[in-house]
Amino acid sequence: MAEAVLGIIGGSGIYDLPGLSELREERIESPWGEPSDVLRIGRMGQTKIVFLPRHGRGHAIPPSEINYRANIDVLKRAGVTDLVSLSACGSYKAELYPGLLVLVDQFVDRTAGRASSFFGKGCVAHVSLAHPVGPRLQERLAEAASAEALPFVKGGTLVTMEGPQFSTRAESLTYKALGYDLIGMTAMPEAKLAREAEITYATVAMVTDYDCWHEEHAAVDVAAVIAVLHANADKARRLVARLARDFPAEREPCPAGSHTALDFAIVTAPEHRDPALLAKLDAVAGRVLAGRS
């Protein structure tokens, strides 16, 4: 197997990742456009780390204007095999309180208008997304959280809304009634694109609020979120440091099949594939398009 390279996408409040040795910044060009920021590449212990702030440093990019395809593409080009997304989220359950970390394993996509696939006319592909989170990566996150005595819950469903506005109360009550655990604005199409790129993906949802369903708590606003983000950011950094310390040197096969997601996914016959699109897929799908094992 290839060298394991751990990618970290920092969400709201996490625009840097202290503790990296051999640190360098690298701007990688992508045929899909501009990523959110330059990559910060270094090591924690023996593990190679590639960090990207999702909203850019200074939080200049709103959720719907993030170039998710470019972000995943440059992470793939940097060699990332396993990707951890750190995301601020609202909670639909009283027991999932602000300050808690939730290692979600399912997503519901309620976004609209975001480019959600690298594939399209000229090269059609359908990957399995039944299990969007890599089970072994999730388990390693759980082990790291336990070792650091961080409050966490393993498992949960996160619904992704378009934003940038927060939910109406009617929306909040609807999602709660449907049994969803959390709400955020960025997990989709990020998780879909990571699977197409054969990158093992996991989300650490950092609870900041109760959205606007809870009658005993005020409706979410930016001031309330920021107050919790600072504490959560420290937890996230501790979690990543512990995860990196114990991370394997070689990439582990993913039980959900993320490392071979494209093996049988491309359905367009070779003679009907668009050369221009194939050129853009050189990093994402190069393994299968070039016939590599």
211 is a catalytic site residue: yes
Q: Which of 209, 234, 246, 274 is catalytic?
A: 209
DSSP string, the chain: -PBPEEEEEE-TT----TT-EEEEEE----TT---SS-EEEEEETTEEEEEEETTTTTT-S-GGG--HHHHHHHHHHTT--EEEEEEEEEESSTTS-TT-EEEE-EEEEE--S----S-BTTB-B----SS-S-HHHHHHHHHHHHHTT--EEE--EEEEE--SSPPPHHHHHHHHHTT--EEESSHHHHHHHHHHTT-EEEEEEEEEE-TTT-TTSPPP-HHHHHHHHHHHHHHHHHHHHHHHHT--SBPPPPTT-GGGTTTTTB-S-GGG--HHHHHHTTTTSHHHHTT--
246 is a catalytic site residue: no
Give 197's Cβ-side CA count (13 Å radius).
32
Q: Which of 211, 221, 234, 274 is catalytic?
A: 211
**Which residues are known to be catalytic?**
209, 211
